Copies of this chain bind each other. A is one copy, B any other.
Amino acid sequence: MPPQRATLLQVAQRAGVSRSTASFVLAGRHVDMRISEDARQRVLRAAQELDYRPNLMARSLRTKVTKTIALVSDTLASDPYAGRAIHGALAGAVAHGHLLFIGETEGESMIEEKLISDFLDRQVDAFVYASMFTRYVRVPKLLKGRPVVLLNCLTRAAKPAHHSIIPDEVGAGWSAAKAVIEAGHREGIHMVGNLAHHVFAGRERLAGIREGFGAAGIKLAGTIDCEWWPDSAYEAVSAALAGGPPPKVLICLNDRVALGAYQALREAGLSIPGDVSVLSFDDSDLAAWLRPQLTSISLPHYQLGWQAVETLLDAAGRTEPAVRRVEMPVRYRASLGKP
């Protein structure tokens, strides 16, 4: 039922030439191969009439180039917004005429090894090795010496073997401080989030925030420690509100934490941003859904994915491997007000 695809041989026969000639014409190499205009036209006509499309597997077998990229990630599901990284990578791949395989390792090295082997067996040209939250990783041995770009992760090596694309979390921290300062705040500024230094993003955001305020001679009024999800933040902020004078600004380490903070503030009868300003990170859909809408510093997943593929296809091999930090822009909404 699917129409039988014509082969190069059939095109050649219909045009009355050899396979070689047909190949040269279709590859646009008629000039250096000195194919007559007449023959060229015949081949082109035949190809069109037969609706010829080259079998890329056959071509790849010969040329060793498949124009496919594999995106291997630890988890795809955990953070729904991480899908945007895939989206960006896909767009980048397509823009370069490549197709994208995806694979998931579930963080297990057995699965990872199997998966990468499978990709290798299918001769993929290059790999995007991705993590769904920013962290340090060790690149699997199977990828040694191949074109690889790390997406949202990096190695501890002083002289990395591959490019890394990560969000500029420290810069985002600075941006947060700047936004708060520009709104006119100098006091009552609190951090909310997981302050243990386990998580890369949290650690860097915090560092950036401290640097930013430090540079302006402003001291944080306090910190509220909680996990990364709403109910933990709700409880921690509620407890903090019960224990002293209300803060003026809450800088939440991500949007889910901000949601918890919103809930606690509302319950305490405090208005946003009238009584308390809230600033956050990630700029997930949630930020636009809250009332008032949440000012948040965007995690540019799409850009990360795009950049990763861009780097893989453009720069890899030609440029000294380095860590590229992608800017995290501030999305101004309604939750950050004047003192």
Contact = CB atoms under 8 A, between A and B. Distances in A.
A284 B234 CA distance: 19
Q: Contact residue range for chain A?
A: 35 or more
Contacts of A66: 57, 122
Contact of A55 (B54, B83, B94, B121): B121
A146 B55 contact: no
Interface stretch (A99-107, A200-208, A219-227): A99-107
Contact of A122 (B99, B256, B289): B99
Interface of A: 1-2, 5, 53-58, 60-61, 66, 68, 76-77, 80-84, 86-87, 90-91, 94, 99-104, 115, 117-123, 144-146, 229-231, 234, 256, 259, 263, 266, 284-286, 289, 291, 302
Given A57-B60, A289-B259, A102 B118 contact: no
A118 to B, nearest CB: 6
Given A263-B291, A289-B230, A87 B81 contact: no
Looking at chain A's contact residues, is the secondary structure mostly helix, strand, loop, or mixed?
helix
Contact of A291 (B77, B123, B144, B234): B234
Which of A82, A146, A230 has the most chain B CB atoms closer than 10 A to its own CB? A230
Contacts of A54: 121
Given A81-B80, A83-B80, A86-B76, A144 B57 contact: no
B56 A123 contact: yes
27 contacts: A1-B144, A5-B120, A53-B117, A53-B121, A56-B122, A56-B123, A57-B57, A57-B60, A57-B122, A61-B61, A68-B122, A76-B87, A77-B84, A77-B302, A80-B285, A83-B86, A86-B86, A94-B104, A99-B101, A99-B103, A99-B119, A100-B101, A100-B103, A101-B102, A102-B102, A263-B291, A266-B266
